[in-house]
Amino acid sequence: MRLMMNLAGAAAIAVAAACSAEQAAEPAAEVAEASQEAVQAEPVETGDPLPVTLDREGFAVMIADAGPVYIAGQPTEAALEAMDAEGVSTVINLRTADEMSNLEPVSFDEAGKVSALGMDYVLIEQGPEETLTPAALDAFAAAMAEADGKVLVHCGSGVRASHMWAAYLVREKGLSMEDALAQAEAMNLRSEAPVRSLLGMEN
């Protein structure tokens, strides 16, 4: 009889211990679950960083670092030399031939200067509305694909260069129009309409 009572008592103690362990495990599980939910709820940063406007002499209006490219206004000869020293391999000029032949704002032969420095020079005229076409974007994308290093993309003030860069990001890099415009707005975007024209979209 005493043995049976001892066994019964031991069983009761074991049951009580198991219940106590189960109760202790419940808060721990809740804490772990809450911690996991907190990690899952933590916001994830998406999207490319915005271009950074640089404080440099030798560029009309602005110059910005947009990762694989610099977006800028008209550079001086000294600015082109600095770009070459920094490893820029290609200069894409979006000004018109008439603009470049006017020696008052541009007092040097840019194409000749760029070639003399050993960089590639590409002229894609972006002036009147009829030049804002998918064909112009094709030429820009081809120049970007052939570039062996960082690229300087410029126009007179960085406006047309910002438009072209936004269109390129949408078509060639898969960015949404909203994200591409945000990139361009950090530089010198004036209007969405030229971007849409370069993409062959209606305005």
Q: What residue spans define the domains of the chain?
A: 1-44, 52-198
3-state secondary structure the chain: CHHHHHHHHHHHHHHHHHHHHHHHHHHHHHHHHHHHHHHHHCCCCCCCCCCEECCCCCECCCEEECCCEEEECCECHHHHHHHHHCCEEEEEECCCHHHHHCCCCCCCCHHHHHHHCCCEEEECCCCCHHHCCHHHHHHHHHHHHHCCCEEEEECCCCHHHHHHHHHHHHHHHCCCHHHHHHHHHCCCCCCCHHHHHHCCCCC
Taking only Cα atoms into account, the Rg of the chain, rounded to an integer number of angstroms, comes to 31
pLDDT greater than 60 at residue 73 = yes
Per-residue pLDDT reduced to its tens digit, 24-71: 444 444 434 433 433 333 333 346 789 999 999 999 999 999 999 999
Amino acid, single-letter form, for residue 17: A
pLDDT at residue 129, as a whole number: 85
pLDDT at residue 90, as a whole number: 98
| Average pLDDT taken over every residue of the chain | 82
Question: What token pair was written down for 62?
Answer: 């602005």
The answer to whether 158 and 73 are in contact (CB under 8 A) is yes
Rounded to an integer, what is the distance from CA 87 to the centroid of its chain?
20
pTM: 0.76
- Residue position matching structure tokens 């074991």: 14
Q: Which CATH fold topology does 52-198 show?
A: Protein-Tyrosine Phosphatase; Chain A (3.90.190)
Q: Which of 31-35, 90-94, 105-109, 174-178 has the lowest mean pLDDT?
A: 31-35
pLDDT at residue 155, as a whole number: 97
Given pLDDT bands bounded at 50, 70 and 90, which one contains residue 202?
confident
